[in-house]
A and B are shown apart, each in its own frame.
Chain A
């Protein structure tokens, strides 16, 4: 499925803003991303499987708040570095 990568994480994807990854859950998707782009997952998800404070993930434009959220192959995922002021 299509995954949109925000600019702070594009050092991992060699500048690419849209990548393909697979998974039946957000966690699986992020694991697949991490296999392609080592290190990217830990910058978004902490060691307790919690999304970091300023990371938001949208599936088909709906925000999800857990990595256990299910995914279908036709879904489109946006990873967002949430603005919090400034």
Chain B
């Protein structure tokens, strides 16, 4: 299996209007921009396989067209569309297209009536994937396996590197049968399935999160799921002690200690150390005037105590821009007990950045490189472990995702 090689950092960039790549020189001082690929298409996530850098996947849709997935098996030189993109089973049929034996007769009759009546009736039954929002490479032991997350909430798996996708029926059934986990059109972009995390010690152990849904865990490869949201606040819900319905923005499993999870939530920054089941709000240690709201959270590849966030204004009507117009990255070196501001190189005022949840990442170089992309189409880089920043490209479309790999 080919592993990522070389000493040129390559950033895979998904934007609202196509995909780009940025490749560095060996010291990360100069960057070469290439693209666009699929100009005009909305690229929600553009990922490289850490098990095989020749394998890449893009989740995309276009303004008028339905969602799809493209995959490359030659490092992005050529791309092919999935012959079977992620999609839910047709209403009244099981995942393989056969009638569901235990389907309620009245429901089936209603579904059939909908089909007979055409568009109007058909809309009452069955979910359809509006967008593929998230792509995650599978476990090290399962080459060719990737997972995808969708809106409305859904999870899909490919075992052939992205050509054909099938529903993870356990997860999708769990969402369909749980109140509030199969919404369409809620939140900007719908309820997004994201942060699909696979335990490197056990391919059957995974966490998945849904915006305005919560975080969920499986230990049987996705057959059964349970919510894991204790300790997370949900000040937008009438019941603050609800089992689920929380709003994780981004959850990450620490690669050096898979029992440690960090979460940037709509209601703050949290940490969970398994086997505990109660999250701790480490964002309470952020400066009060900045708060602990944001979209992304990035962890150091080896130091379990270090993480970086990009705070945004979550007051009143939620501008989702840098608090006070003074963009900054905040870092913790002690697991969230304290946070340190880093704004060297960033605008000192009138910098109203928004950094979306997949638009911040780290490379694995020494010293560590940190990168974030803005909704204004800029990409900022730090090559000193997050201490200072420079803008390495401007004028791109709104940045949706950045992934770092090596070339």
Contact yes or no, A42 B118, CB < 8 A: no
Name the one of A44, A47, A50, A66 contacting B87, with C-beta atoms under 8 angstroms: A47
Contact yes or no, A43 B115, CB < 8 A: no
Nearest CB of B to A58, in Å: 14
Enumerate B51-90 residues with CB–CB distance to A below 8 Å. Answer: 62-66, 68, 81-83, 85, 87-90
Contact yes or no, B89 A68, CB < 8 A: no
Q: B-facing mask of A46-71, CB < 8 A → 1, else 0?
A: 11111110110000000001111100
Given A39-B81, A68-B118, A47 contacting B64 (CB threshold 8 A): no
Alpha-carbon distance between A31 and B81 when the two chains are bound, in angstroms: 17
Alpha-carbon distance between A46 and B130 when the two chains are bound, in angstroms: 9
User: Interface stretch among B121-129, B196-204, B243-251?
Assistant: B121-129
Q: Is A81 an interface residue (CB 8 A)?
A: yes
Given A39-B83, A47-B89, A65-B119, A52 contacting B126 (CB threshold 8 A): no
Please give me the residue from chain A that is nearest to B86 by CB atom.
A47
Name the one of B68, B116, B128 contacting A48, with C-beta atoms under 8 angstroms: B128
Alpha-carbon distance between A50 and B114 when the two chains are bound, in angstroms: 11
How many of A's residues come within 8 Å of B, CB to CB?
A: 25
Q: Is A38 an interface residue (CB 8 A)?
A: yes
Q: Is B91 an interface residue (CB 8 A)?
A: yes
How many of B's residues come within 8 Å of A, CB to CB?
A: 28
Contact yes or no, A49 B122, CB < 8 A: yes
Q: Is A19 an interface residue (CB 8 A)?
A: no
Q: Is A9 an interface residue (CB 8 A)?
A: yes
- Which residues of chain A have C-beta atoms less than 8 A from B81's C-beta? 38-39
Name the one of B64, B117, B126, B128 contacting A81, with C-beta atoms under 8 angstroms: B64
Contact yes or no, A46 B129, CB < 8 A: yes
Contact yes or no, B122 A38, CB < 8 A: no
Contact yes or no, A39 B68, CB < 8 A: yes
Nearest CB of B to A74, in Å: 23
Q: Is A82 an interface residue (CB 8 A)?
A: yes
Please give me the residue from chain A that is nearest to B62 by CB atom.
A8
9 more contacts with CB within 8 A, not counting A43-B66, A46-B87, are A8-B63, A39-B83, A42-B68, A47-B87, A47-B88, A48-B91, A49-B122, A68-B115, A81-B64
